[in-house]
Structure 1
Amino acid sequence: MANPVTIPDLSSRPHELQVERLMKASPAVLFSAWTRQIDRWFAAPGTVIMQGEVDTAFFFETVFRSSPDSAAQRHPHYGRFLRLEPDRLVQLTWLTGAGGTQGAETVVTVELEPHDSGARLRLTHAGFPDEASRNGHLEAWPFVLEQLDQQMAEG
């Protein structure tokens, strides 16, 4: 019998957020985007190490430029998959450095349900070490989900 997946204890870090978006892509396409195609919509191409299976670790980088002539800033992301329900749910830990989760192992839960020809996506991100970290992600996630919607709806 396999060992149960260890869920992070978030009791000392109660800051969390939730965002929802109606997506053009289907739940199946979005599930694949989070588990096998993160470099298509979020991660820098060539940086992804990901199996998309419960209790496996992943790594990827995002690259951001604050202006066209500024130096690229890389942002490593680490985590592991906690729960996967095909086309319905992705739950993973999410760990980034300064300007992100401040090194705290947070938990992202993505719930997918069919809606018209697409999906309703509800993202909950929990376990932030402080309000500033939570607020930064509360601003960022809607833009990230918009990018997901645009890239994955194109087929």
Structure 2
Amino acid sequence: MESKTAVICPPDLTLRPLSLKVEKLLALPVIKVFRAWTTEFDLWFAAPGSLLGKPEPNCPFYFETFYGGIRHPHYGRFLSIEEPHRVEMTWITGASGTRGAETLLTIELVPHEVGTFIKLTHAGFADTASRDLHNEAWPLILGQLHERMSRPAD
């Protein structure tokens, strides 16, 4: 799933330089974490049955989450995919997330003796409040990824 396709309209983050980085060691194989970010969002993050799209460069995706009884749509498009080590995508959510700004999410996966070291970079926030909210949320979300993807298959 190595991508060599040129990105159509890469996001321009020039006027939105705010970013964050989160790193976490997951006791999961690299390929499992890679699939979690490409084809298995609905096993750990997206509401079941809400995932649309396919993990290919320039292809859009959609899914929704439910938190606090509220529906949170997530939109974006895959920019580059280097199986099993890197995924880059745009990430757009509503007023309680990116505030409609097209942000850039980069996931880097490094094999480690106990699993996978994940480096998540999220860039292009419109304001500090949105960045800070995501800076608090991403460690919890990565913990959820670890918990849900560690469960034995049904």
Q: Write the distance in 1 (CA, Å) between the matches of 2:87 and 2:151.
A: 22
Matched residue, 1:4:
6
Task: Establish whether residue 48 from structure 1 lines up as the match of residue 51 from structure 2.
Answer: yes
Superposed structure 1 runs of 4+ greater than 6 Å apart: none
- String of CA shifts for 1:19-78, please: whole Å, max 9, x gaps: 00000111110110110000100000011102111110000000011xxxxxx1000000
| Alpha-carbon separation, structure 2, partners of 1:35 and 1:76 | 17
What is the distance in 2 between the residues matched to 1:25 and 1:52? 21
* Residue 20 of structure 1 pairs with residue 23 of structure 2: yes
The 2-side partners of 1:23 and 1:106 are apart by 24
- Match of 2:100, SS state, is coil
Query: Which amino acid in structure 2 is aligned with residue 95 of structure 1?
Result: I
TM-score normalized by the length of structure 2: 0.93
Q: Secondary structure at the match of 1:110?
A: strand
Structure 1 stretches lacking a partner, 5+ long = 66-71
Residue 154 of structure 1, CA deviation: 2.3
Matched, 1:88 2:88: no
Specify every segment of 5 or more residues in structure 2 that has no aligned partner in the other structure, as ranges: none
The one-letter code of the counterpart of 2:11 is P
Backbone CA RMSD of aligned residues: 1.2
Contact 2:5 2:57 in 1 (8 A): no
Matched, 1:62 2:62: no
d(CA) in 1 for partners of 2:89 and 2:146? 20
Supply the AA of the counterpart residue of 1:94: W
Taking every aligned residue pair, what percent have the same amino acid on both sides?
49
Mapping of 1:100-111 within 5 angstroms? 100-111=97-108
> 2: CA distance between counterparts of 1:153 and 1:27?
13
* 92, 105, 123: which one aligns with 1:126: 123
